[in-house]
Amino acid sequence: MKLRLGPAPDGRRRLPHETGMDSGNKINARKIFGVGPALALAGLGAAALVAGCDYFLGARACLPEKALFYSRAAGMILAAAGMLLWADSVRLVLKGSRENRLITTGAFKLTRNPMYAAIMLFIIPGGALILNNLLFILASAPMLIVFKLLIGREERRLREQYGSAYEEYAGRVSRLIPGGKRCKSIIQQ
């Protein structure tokens, strides 16, 4: 759920549960940030574990020296694409929360969860290639598990809030992999 400011669409004053604020006018982070904080904790924990293994045990999964230029270039492209996807989705969330509408354009046209996709599928793998330690890709694994376990709650809130508009959107756009439903339909043709 997103932080909504100003009056409700029908002109009445918004109730605390409709704004992302609790009754004491404090921000209700769970409603605003969704599963993001849990994903961040899972990813940071896994990244710390990988960094510890690298530092203390010297455990690395490196590409050969000959491939470094190309792998780092690919990593920079992946990370840059992820940052663009993330930034566009943040911009749209801020705009959509002010307008109290379901966001289905821009990054949300590619995936229903572009911020999470940007981090797990682009930025982390890109960083692993740049650092030449492919074990860092493992940081995405616990994030994907937490995502799979918790995203249903976020989607239920969106179904309650937007009804059939969200159902139609969910039927058309992949949950996480950008263009996933389109690729699947092309393969099945």
pLDDT higher than threshold 60 for residue 21: no
- What letters, b where the CB count within 10 A reaches 16 and e where it falls short, cover 9-48? eeeeebeeeebbbeeeeeebebbbbbbbebbeebbeebbe
CB 99 within 8 Å of CB 136? no
Q: What is the largest CA-CA distance in the chain?
A: 65
To which residue do tokens 């982070």 refer? Answer: 29
Pairwise CA distance, residues 70 & 179, whole Å:
25
Average pLDDT over residues 179-189: 60
pLDDT in tens, 40-51: 889 899 889 988
To which residue do tokens 């549960």 refer? Answer: 17
pLDDT higher than threshold 50 for residue 22: no
Average pLDDT over residues 105-134: 93
Q: Given this model, what pLDDT does residue 25 score?
A: 47
Question: pLDDT-derived band of residue 183, with 50, 70 and 90 as boundaries?
Answer: low
Q: Given this model, what pLDDT does residue 16 score?
A: 44
pLDDT higher than threshold 50 for residue 23: no
Tokens of 71: 């792998």
pLDDT in tens, 50-95: 888 888 888 788 889 999 999 999 999 999 999 999 999 999 988 8
Q: Within its chain, how far is the Cα of 103 from the centroid?
A: 14
Mean pLDDT of the chain: 82
Query: pTM of the prediction?
Result: 0.75
